[in-house]
Chains A and B, each alone.
Chain A
């Protein structure tokens, strides 16, 4: 199969999977014929007849919820009821801040660690110990010491995105080919110039890999963190709708979270492709 035919087939197969998935969903949730029991006072108090959704939402309900949310994504009806666009904005701002801090911290430090085998060995145990800790486990400490829930959210993003970047930067810097470093030494390149002109371009693809892993983790964590501290953000939106047991909106939010995560990954992926070189 040629390249073009392959991607066409793949696209068709993707559509087929989607179709099967939606068909199963539809069959599983198709509304059963309501028994026409008279709606007495008790049933009325249980919301019979008036209740919109019973059990798992149908495709039509999901479409309706999505249409409602997407036609007015930036509404603001008070501190606790804002449109999905505003919530996404809050989440992205938090992720952006925490992630930027992590880059500022992890890339220079990773550079140092990668260039010095001594530092690498001395700090490695700590990195290995801190890396597997769930970022949310830091939340109580953050809330207690930082004394601000919004900054605590940013801190949690920072702490979860810092490790992949740090490790990848150190690894990338440490494994620059000896030949290139030797050439630089022969030409008597000064250390700073060596770092920026030789090591950085050589390690860039590995560093970007770390950043790509980090953005994925950060986007995973922000939803959980916002469900915990509340207030604003897409995680709060999920939590607020869950409190009302409104599954339709929760599913819609999940879809949005997935799409945004995919876009973030795609963007860093493009950046990664731009710095990759062929030897």
Chain B
């Protein structure tokens, strides 16, 4: 009990310090009214009880030193910037960010427990939890890292082939089978009447290798993460055909997550991580912070890219590779809320293209993997606005998706893999 009282006292002092920063005046105030009545006076107009509860919740993390894997792309902006800008430190965590060579390795290092938490493509925790393409292990999505921020980049030699109908025989790269990139590219070409499995070739290439492959002529284009779309423009080997926000404005891309086992063993660390990444996302959402963020995440330790390339991605004022300067402030954004409807959409596409067969219990899986309740809790703590609902209808290339009717949605597609 005395411990709690101490905590209350410390908190009162902190509030008092904030209200009356000058030391001598504060002491005079305390002497005049007495310490306990000062506390009572403060409590009358300050939610001290709530603040005490919050401070107690910030219990010491079970483990301070953590390894977090990431792929050097702007999708991971919040979890990367949290290191140089001190959001992890603020929560009492000492995080090593481990640059990883590709998504398969991200998966393996999470399964091996070499990494404690990780940057994921948002379909990956769903796939791993279902045992698709790996051993089955329950993975959880804490926050979505970014929305929008991807693009279809084509080789400069295809400058006049802007209609997907002319793309028969093209070779495209995507970062991973279980990626939004794969599903969005398939969706896009299918809407234009091409079968992504037979009319074009889709190959998996780690994002950092996409530009080199495009230059070598190994591929005709890619639906890939930034900064590699912008990097292709910077190196004058490619142009931006279309931003992913033109397909689905507000689509999720990458996620931040960890394993169910980690959460069970380290609840306080989990909470601290959640707060750190959400605080970073909150800062990243402000357009005026973007140039600073570009500066801190560009050095070799993180993205290892020219700062101007990263800045063009984050501010949305960019060269498109066709001679135009475009201004699209919402080219990339960092809304962390893990909509369960997004998970349902991903599952419909996994079924559409044959990655999962048989009956899928869409909502049950979505609700297990996308931790909406926790996200809401920690967002409220940080006074970030979280939507009341976990499901939302969206329009993707003009076609409505109703998350409560996934099977009906699936049946409505003309192009899909024959079962």
Contacts and interface: CB of A to CB of B under 8 A. Distances in A.
Contact of A244 (B112, B113, B304): B304
A50 B72 contact: no
Contacts of B99: 79-80, 230-231, 240
Interface stretch (B44-52, B119-127, B305-313, B361-369): B305-313
B319 interface: yes
A244 B306 CA distance: 8
Interface stretch (B30-38, B228-236, B268-276, B287-295): B228-236
Interface string A173-205: 000000000000000000000000000000000
B101 interface: yes
A144 B105 CA distance: 10
Given A45-B319, A46-B234, A245-B211, A228 B308 contact: no
A120 to B, nearest CB: 38
A149 B109 contact: yes
A78 B301 contact: yes
A234 B323 CA distance: 39
B318 A144 contact: no
B389 interface: no
B277 interface: no
A245 B325 contact: no
A97 interface: no
A242 B210 CA distance: 11
B114 A148 contact: yes
Interface string B36-66: 0000000000000000000000000000000
A47 B309 CA distance: 9
A77 interface: yes
Interface residues of B, number: 39
A81 B299 CA distance: 9
A79 B301 contact: yes
Interface in A70-93: 77-81
A239 interface: yes
B212 interface: yes
Interface string B356-379: 000000000000000000000000
B114 A80 contact: no
Contact of B101 (A77, A144, A228): A228
Contacts of A230: 99-101, 105
A46 B299 CA distance: 18
B105 A229 contact: yes
A47 B236 CA distance: 11
Nearest to A50: B308
Which 8 residue pairs of A and B lie closest in terms of their CB atoms, listed nearest first?
Answer: A243-B208, A230-B101, A81-B301, A78-B301, A45-B319, A147-B112, A80-B99, A81-B300
Contacts of A244: 300, 304-305
Given A243-B209, A244-B305, 20 more contacts: A45-B312, A45-B319, A47-B234, A50-B308, A77-B299, A78-B97, A78-B301, A79-B96, A79-B301, A80-B97, A80-B300, A80-B302, A143-B112, A149-B105, A149-B114, A229-B105, A230-B99, A230-B105, A243-B72, A245-B231
Interface of A: 41-42, 45-47, 50-51, 77-81, 143-144, 147-149, 227-231, 239-245
Contact of A47 (B112, B209, B306): B306
Nearest to A243: B208
Nearest to B68: A79
Nearest to A241: B304
22 contacts: A41-B325, A77-B300, A79-B96, A79-B301, A80-B98, A80-B301, A81-B299, A143-B105, A143-B112, A147-B112, A147-B113, A147-B114, A148-B112, A149-B108, A149-B109, A227-B101, A228-B101, A230-B100, A230-B101, A240-B99, A243-B209, A245-B235
Contacts of B97: 78-80
Nearest to B311: A45
A79 B98 contact: yes
B2 interface: no
B306 A45 contact: no
B323 A42 contact: yes
B324 interface: yes
A58 to B, nearest CB: 18
Interface in B85-136: 96-101, 105, 108-109, 111-114
A45 B312 CA distance: 8
Contact of B212 (A47, A80, A227, A245): A245
Contacts of B101: 227-230, 239
B306 to A, nearest CB: 6
Nearest to B98: A79
Contacts of B324: 42
A245 B236 CA distance: 13
Contacts of A227: 101
Nearest to B318: A45
A77 B208 CA distance: 21
B137 to A, nearest CB: 12
Contacts of A143: 105, 108, 112
